[in-house]
Structure 1
Amino acid sequence: MKGNEEPVRGRLLAEATRLFADRGFEGTSVQEIVTAAGVTKGAMYHYFDSKDDLLHEIYARVLRMQMSRLTQIADADAPVAERLHRAAADVVETTTANLDDSKIFFRSMHLLAPETRKTVRAERRRYHERFRDLVTEGQRAGVFRSDVQAEIVVDFFFGSVHHLGTWFHVDGSLSGGEVGEQFADLLLASLR
């Protein structure tokens, strides 16, 4: 990719994120996005197949970053309880740091084309499975209680994470990192 092309793609994503957050996915036209980004529709379609594709990428870039971080944490040479705590705190902190992206996505996911929605669910499932593997590892090692299925632990935890967009505020009394630490503490306490 040429050096001058990446800023165009970034502007399109930034403006789409801003507009989707302000007006909603359905209430934002491709024309409004390209006008705000200062590019032509042709330039947009060079990078994205559709408005749907833009929505997918808004969430996918956050998920790729989170997956990379989770892999690094999960593969670290540390006790499983420490790795799970770090992973839980990290997903909360990175979600709150990218709150508009997450809110837009969860509010609009049902509007994606069926094939795109299927792809996104598979990407999220891979993340949740990697997280679940840490729970399972701790259960097998006798570090975590084993009377609760790891899948339920993950569903319960991520239900709370996905709900952050409804109440967390950047200017609130707790930072994303502080909320992440408290979520992680609660998760680990529930597994003892």
Structure 2
Amino acid sequence: MRQPAGRSARRSGGERKPREERWAELIEVATQVFYEKGYDGASLQDIADRLGMLKGSLYYYIQSKEDLLFDVISSVHKDGLAVIRARAGVEGPPLFRLRSVIVGHVEHTCRNLVPTAVFLHELSALPLERRVEVLGSEHAYQGVFRDLIESAQQAGDVRSDLDPRLAALSVLGSTNWVYRWFRPGGSFTPEQIGAELAELTIRGIATEQGLGTV
């Protein structure tokens, strides 16, 4: 069973670890409480009450509220990163794969609004060293976009005057903002939003040659 990210070195190897189902429930409930009340406004008592357990029982799983936020944030980041890495690994030219990554990122965001909101709102509540631990020193999530843009640029498919890092930040900034205005059951589906944002992005950075690859 996966050892939760914030629990390293807390218990000896011989002690019983929490059941995976209970840990998953804790993460889900904590995510919802942080979403509703914000990290500063939420308490471990709130989370324990929602789970129907004593507050003291939470300390079997975590050492502090900060540890729990770290585990929530890590879980959100890990899930999203798995989605875009899978999309980046499809066959095809880098610009084609970038389109796939953008669509996947947007669709994942639309279908995970609460975890996304907690990640984007509360990441800054963690100390810097713990934020780096989540994101990776090279910002792994951003790096998927940057590497594809850089590869497409080297192939002559993206304009040479663009900085890949700035372009990646621009793409992430615009696509991340979807969580603020998307409404399930509204006028636009996640698929429509992903496709249109990908189209706008690709047409904004691609050369004529690059447009022929997507």
TM-score by length of 2: 0.81
1:175 equivalenced with 2:175 (yes/no): no
The corresponding residue for 1:113 is 127
CA distance in 1, matches of 2:18, 2:64: 21
Q: Is the 8 A contact 2:87 2:104 kept in 1?
A: no
- How many residues are paired up? 192
The corresponding residue for 1:57 is 71
CA distance in 2, matches of 1:55, 1:4: 18
Q: Write out aligned runs for 1:130-149 (5 A).
A: 130-149=144-163
CA distance in 2, matches of 1:149, 1:36: 47
CA distance in 1, matches of 2:97, 2:164: 16
SS at match of 2:39: coil
The corresponding residue for 2:166 is 152
CA RMSD of aligned residues (A): 2.1
Once the two structures are TM-superposed, the CA of residue 83 in structure 1 deviates from its matched residue by 0.7
Q: Structure 2: state its 5+ residue gaps.
A: 2-15, 207-214
Once the two structures are TM-superposed, the CA of residue 174 in structure 1 deviates from its matched residue by 0.8
TM-score by length of 1: 0.89
More displaced, 120-129 or 164-173?
A: 120-129
CA distance in 2, matches of 1:123, 1:52: 20
Once the two structures are TM-superposed, the CA of residue 70 in structure 1 deviates from its matched residue by 2.4
Q: Percent identity?
A: 29
SS at match of 1:84: helix
Q: Is the 8 A contact 2:34 2:42 kept in 1?
A: yes
Once the two structures are TM-superposed, the CA of residue 120 in structure 1 deviates from its matched residue by 2.7
Which protein is bigger by CA-based radius of gyration? 2
Structure with the bigger percentage of helix: 1
2:30 counterpart (16, 28, 38): 16
CA distance in 1, matches of 2:51, 2:86: 34
Q: Structure 1: state its 5+ residue gaps.
A: none
Judged with a 3 Å threshold, the aligned counterparts in structure 2 of structure 1 residues 124 and 35 are, in CA distance, closer, same or farther, namely: farther
